[in-house]
Each structure stands twice: as structure tokens, then as C-alpha cells.
A and B are shown apart, each in its own frame.
Chain A
Amino acid sequence: QQQVKQSPQSLIVQKGGISIINCAYENTAFDYFPWYQQFPGKGPALLIAIRPDVSEKKEGRFTISFNKSAKQFSLHIMDSQPGDSATYFCAAISPYFGNEKLTFGTGTRLTIIP
């Protein structure tokens, strides 16, 4: 129940295209869903996050879509650029689940090609 399943494991998108990464969860007590971006040799950094009371959140070229009934959420990167090449992690947390720590997906390595 604590798992967050992320797909695909790797993704190649042409410059200017849309990158889409999907995550699914089981624990309905999760109430905060962040996405982290990690460049090679660096630590992850928070990119964008959503709570389940909204179905979409947009920040610049990055959008999270959230489907509460399906227990799925996804990251869309519009007009993908080579600088977006990184590993992306979805995550989830519930402050009511007991030990209150983030559960991470396994990551998606995104490569944007010219």
C-alpha cells in the first residue's frame, strides 16, 4: 500500500515535444504529491507538487494532472528542451499514515534530443 509505481523507466523525446511521465498509488491516505528533478551527479530538487483537491497544476512548461478516482497522477513537460534532460521522481506522502515520510517512485530518465 505504500508503493508508488512510476513509468516509463526511460523516455526519449524530441525537442519541442511533450514528455509525459505517469505514477500510480494505492494508499488513499496520500495527500501530497510532489515531483522531483535530478540532474546527473546532483541531488534531486522539488519541481512541482499537487494536493488531491485539484485536478491540475501548472507551473510554466510543467503540469501535473491528478486523477483521484484512478489513483494516478502524471507530469507533462510541454515544449521539452535539452535542458530538461534529467531523472524525474514522483512521490507521495500522508501525514496520517504513521511515520510520515515520502514514498518515491523508481524514477524516469528523460532524454530530450535535438
Chain B
Amino acid sequence: DGGITQSPKYLFRKEGQNVTLSCEQNLNHDAMYWYRQDPGQGLRLIYYSQIVNDFQKGDIAEGYSVSREKKESFPLTVTSAQKNPTAFYLCASSIAQGAGELFFGEGSRLTVL
């Protein structure tokens, strides 16, 4: 089955630690995205990538970093510089940048202790 796989589903981190969330897709999509979801705030875009080896900051990129070395993979690192990292993180892909249909993974819930 084609889709987006995010791991881990749940992650606990101590303050001051970096953590990397994995996102893999087998849909052969060019564009990939990372969103952060907090209660009452909807979906906020962290980073997006239109093509391999290229990515752009979204609305809330501070404290996060990404890489896009392979078409299938778009990992997100939550760094210690992110002041409030506890959230639900969603990875998505679309056939191309500008497509209105995004395919989402099941999310990763990060809790900072």
C-alpha cells in the first residue's frame, strides 16, 4: 500500500536534547511538508520541500531543521533551540508543489519532559 510512514508514533525527550522524526513516502511524490499541530491552532507549516536537495522555511521554522537527500525521505530534527517543542507533528506529501491534495502520515507526538 502506498502512503506516508512516520516514526516514532510517540517520543519523549528531555529538555536540551535534539530529536529526529522520520518521514518516508512511497507515493513517488515530489513535494513533502512538515506541520505542527497544537490544540486550537490548526496546522502550522514548519518546512517544505519541492524537490530533492531543496527545502524552504514555512511559517514556524525556528528551532527546526530538515534534510531532503532522497525523494522518499524528509526527516525533521527538533533542536534544543525550539522553546516549546511538545506537539503533534505531521508529515505530508503531494504530487507536486502547488497541489491542493496533501497525503498525511499518522503523526508523531513529541513530549518534552
Chain A residues at the B interface, C-beta cutoff of 8 Å: 6, 9, 32, 34, 36, 41-46, 49, 89, 91, 93, 95, 99-102, 104-107
Which residues of chain B are within 8 angstroms of A43 by Cβ–Cβ distance? Answer: 4, 90, 92, 104-107
Which residues of chain A are within 8 angstroms of B2 by Cβ–Cβ distance? Answer: none
Contact assessment for B100 and A49 in the assembled complex, using a CB-CB cutoff below 8 Å: yes
Contact assessment for A44 and B104 in the assembled complex, using a CB-CB cutoff below 8 Å: yes
Contact assessment for B90 and A106 in the assembled complex, using a CB-CB cutoff below 8 Å: no
Q: Mark B90-113, 1 if CB is under 8 A from A, else 0.
A: 101000011011101111000000
Nearest CB to that of B105 among chain A residues?
A43
The SS class assigned to the B binding surface is loop
Contact assessment for A106 and B42 in the assembled complex, using a CB-CB cutoff below 8 Å: yes
CA distance A104 to B44 in the complex (A): 8
CA distance A89 to B43 in the complex (A): 9
Contact assessment for A105 and B42 in the assembled complex, using a CB-CB cutoff below 8 Å: yes
Contact assessment for A101 and B43 in the assembled complex, using a CB-CB cutoff below 8 Å: no
Which of B43, B58, B106 gathers the greatest number of chain A CB atoms within 10 Å? B43
Q: Mark B20-58, 1 if CB is under 8 A from A, else 0.
A: 000000000000010000001111010010000000101
Contact assessment for A104 and B56 in the assembled complex, using a CB-CB cutoff below 8 Å: no
Among all A-B residue pairs, the 8 with the closest Cβ atoms: A43-B104, A100-B98, A106-B42, A32-B100, A95-B98, A104-B43, A93-B100, A107-B42
Shortest C-beta distance, B100 to chain A (Å), equals 4
Which residues of chain B are within 8 angstroms of A107 by Cβ–Cβ distance? Answer: 40, 42-43
CA distance A45 to B103 in the complex (A): 7
Q: 16 A-B pairs, CB-CB below 8 angstroms?
A: A41-B106, A42-B106, A43-B4, A43-B104, A44-B90, A44-B102, A44-B104, A45-B104, A46-B102, A49-B100, A49-B101, A101-B33, A101-B58, A102-B102, A104-B42, A107-B43
